[in-house]
């Protein structure tokens, strides 16, 4: 652990980190009364995704597309080359992906799920099995729609919110080997690796683990693809926690990690500090050819993929900013500041504190609410009611139904994610947030669960509606 962070929160001899930027422009926030919030959450069917942002004070729904761009990125927006074909900004983006992630071929997409769609269509056949270090919502649904079945091979510690394992995003190699033995390598086109693992609480995967995953997969002719959405943040954890990496930069670690994989998809709305954008990158010319052909059907021409030229310019600059050590130290330091306050006050959160968010453990928060009465959905609604802070359910609602049986999936983790946008909120916002969580915690025994009154077929957490029991 770096000295800056180790001393955080100590009263004496304290040496704080601070953000490596200052504020040039501000965006006023709306303050609301409890009566207004009561009306708003009822209208939203107790689903924070259905709230209007005008009714939200501190918006911790997601870190996706919500980060603040730098003055350099905004200046880059003015350099947009909006040519339909061959935009100069695409070539800047392509060069940045090649330089910082190290892959050979780049296909731009409008955001991450666009890239997931393309790679799933190219690589997956009906009846295939995709192993991965815990599912992600959009990733898995594209794998399933392409005919695949997702199997979780993450280490058991990832499902235990109290485990202090430093790399809870690691793949369990025995589980992976057993799966290969059971279904056969010919049914497994690739293994789907994410860094950091969102659904486990923003937990990193180690360099040693990806090396072992690559060795095992390549022995069986299975590819390794990376969900690189928060891989720059993962690189910071490797620098901090893994032997041999303390003196390597985030930039070097990121590139080394990617070198053990055959390609990646990216939601640039996270690590890369832009409001919209994504890409798919691979090393195999044949896969590239197919993906580049599909992109013109689903996204746009292969030199813009659904992004404007100016978006690609901002993204190219954002990639460079995202791999700066000082940036990651402040970004992850802020998340940790919030988490450590909640720890001090005895509020149950996922340990260790992850990269992009603090995850409240709704099962321990509301032990009296059974999982099919949606404890995490309830907690997110209560937090909004208390103070206008918006978080997101990551539990039974997000897990959806098993396509085979039609039943709810019952995930071990029932969480509310307080996701911190990059470079947006101050330490005082983190204090206010922690105090609001404490107030809701103090009221926990009087809180009852919810029932679902409307359920969409796909990715139900986005649009489902609830009512109080």
By annotation, the residues acting in catalysis are: 84, 136-137, 227, 270, 394, 461
Neighbours of 453 (CB within 10 A): 11
Smallest gap from residue 195 Cβ to ligand PLP (A): 9
Nearest-angstrom CA–CA distance, 395 and 199: 9
Comparing CB distances to ligand PLP, the nearer of 67 and 229 is: 229
Site for ligand PLP in 20-79 (CB under 6 A): 64
Nearest-angstrom CA–CA distance, 302 and 295: 6
Residue choice 168, 269, 329, 429 for contact with ligand PLP (CB under 6 A) = 269
Does residue number 270 form part of the binding site for ligand PLP (CB under 6 A)?
Answer: yes
Smallest gap from residue 135 Cβ to ligand PLP (A): 10
Identify the CA nearest to 259 among candidates 318, 305, 213: 213
Does residue number 143 form part of the binding site for ligand PLP (CB under 6 A)?
Answer: no
- Alpha helices, H only, 146-249: 173-183, 207-219, 231-241
Site for ligand PLP in 370-399 (CB under 6 A): none
Task: Confirm if 221 and 185 have CB atoms less than 8 A apart.
Answer: yes
Neighbours of 401 (CB within 10 A): 13
Span near ligand PLP by CB under 6 A; candidates 71-79, 131-139, 150-158, 217-225: 131-139
**What SS3 class is residue 32?**
coil
Smallest gap from residue 28 Cβ to ligand PLP (A): 27
Smallest gap from residue 82 Cβ to ligand PLP (A): 22
Residues 6+ apart with CB under 8 A from 183: 129
Using the Cα atoms of residue 432, residue 436, residue 438 and residue 442 in order, give the sign of their dihedral: positive
Site for ligand PLP in 404-433 (CB under 6 A): none
Smallest gap from residue 280 Cβ to ligand PLP (A): 12
Binding mask 191-230 for ligand PLP (x = CB under 6 A): ---x---x----------------------------x-x-
Comparing CB distances to ligand PLP, the nearer of 41 and 131 is: 131
Span near ligand PLP by CB under 6 A; candidates 45-53, 134-142, 207-215, 432-440: 134-142
Strand order in the sheet with 278-282: 105-109, 278-282, 263-267, 223-227, 190-194, 129-132, 149-152
Token pair, residue 462, equals 């986005």
Residue choice 67, 73, 89, 138 for contact with ligand PLP (CB under 6 A) = 138
Residue choice 267, 272, 334, 398 for contact with ligand PLP (CB under 6 A) = 267
Read off the DSSP letter of residue 70: P
Task: Confirm if 97 and 263 have CB atoms less than 8 A apart.
Answer: no
Residue nearest ligand PLP by beta-carbon distance: 112
Span near ligand PLP by CB under 6 A; candidates 109-117, 151-159, 185-193, 316-324: 109-117
Does residue number 117 form part of the binding site for ligand PLP (CB under 6 A)?
Answer: no
Gyration radius from the chain CA atoms:
21
Smallest gap from residue 215 Cβ to ligand PLP (A): 24
Residue choice 111, 143, 192, 275 for contact with ligand PLP (CB under 6 A) = 111
Identify the CA nearest to 411 among candidates 372, 368, 359: 372
**Which residue shows structure tokens 């589980």?**
175
Nearest-angstrom CA–CA distance, 210 and 224: 9
Residue choice 161, 201, 278, 333 for contact with ligand PLP (CB under 6 A) = 278
CA 64 to chain centre: 8
Smallest gap from residue 63 Cβ to ligand PLP (A): 8
Which residues are paired to 392 by β-bridges? 417
Comparing CB distances to ligand PLP, the nearer of 198 and 206 is: 198
For binding to ligand PLP (CB under 6 A), which residues are involved?
64, 111-113, 136, 138-139, 194, 198, 227, 229, 267, 269-270, 278
């Amino acid at each position: 652990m770096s000295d800056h962070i180790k001393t955080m929160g100590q009263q004496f001899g304290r040496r704080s980190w601070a953000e490596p930027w200052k504020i040039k422009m501000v965006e006023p926030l709306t303050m609301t009364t409890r009566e207004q919030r009561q009306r708003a959450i009822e209208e939203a069917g107790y689903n924070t995704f259905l709230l209007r942002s005008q009714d939200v004070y501190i918006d911790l729904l997601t870190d996706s597309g919500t980060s603040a761009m730098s003055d350099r990125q905004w200046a880059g927006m003015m350099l947009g080359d909006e040519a339909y074909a061959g935009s100069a900004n695409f070539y800047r983006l392509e060069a940045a992906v090649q330089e910082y992630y190290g892959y050979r071929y780049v296909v731009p997409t409008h955001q991450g799920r666009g890239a997931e769609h393309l790679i799933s269509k190219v690589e997956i056949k009906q009846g295939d099995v995709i192993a991965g270090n815990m599912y992600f919502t959009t990733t898995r649904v594209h794998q399933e729609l392409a005919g695949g079945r997702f199997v979780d091979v993450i280490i058991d510690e990832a499902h235990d919110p109290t485990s202090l394992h430093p790399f809870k995003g690691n793949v369990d190699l025995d589980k992976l080997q057993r799966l290969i033995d059971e279904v056969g390598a010919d049914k497994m086109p690739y293994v789907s690796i994410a860094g950091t693992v969102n659904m486990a609480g923003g937990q990193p995967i180690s360099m040693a683990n990806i090396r072992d995953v690559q060795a095992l997969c390549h022995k069986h002719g299975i590819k390794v693809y990376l969900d690189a959405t928060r891989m720059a943040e993962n690189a910071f954890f490797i620098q901090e926690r893994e032997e041999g990496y303390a003196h390597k930069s985030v930039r070097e670690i990121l590139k080394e990690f990617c070198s053990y994989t055959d390609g990646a998809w990216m939601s640039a709305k996270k690590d890369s500090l832009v409001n919209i954008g994504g890409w798919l990158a691979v090393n195999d010319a044949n896969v590239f050819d197919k993906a580049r052909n599909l992109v013109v059907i689903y996204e746009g021409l292969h030199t813009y993929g659904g992004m404007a030229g100016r978006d690609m310019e901002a993204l190219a600059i954002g990639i460079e900013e995202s791999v700066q050590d000082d940036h990651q130290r402040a970004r992850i330091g802020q998340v940790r500041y919030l988490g450590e306050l909640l720890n001090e006050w005895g509020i149950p959160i996922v340990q260790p504190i992850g990269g992009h968010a603090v995850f409240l453990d709704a099962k321990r928060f509301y032990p009296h609410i059974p999982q099919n009465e949606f404890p995490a959905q309830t907690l997110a609604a209560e937090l909004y009611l208390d103070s206008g802070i918006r978080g997101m359910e990551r539990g039974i609602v997000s897990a959806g139904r098993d396509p085979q049986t039609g039943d709810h999936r019952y995930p071990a983790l029932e969480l509310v994610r307080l996701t911190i946008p990059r470079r947006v909120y101050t330490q005082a916002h983190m204090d206010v947030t922690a105090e609001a969580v404490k107030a809701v915690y103090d009221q926990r025994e009087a809180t009852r669960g919810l029932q679902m009154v409307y359920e969409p077929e796909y990715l139900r957490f986005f649009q489902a509606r609830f009512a109080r029991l």
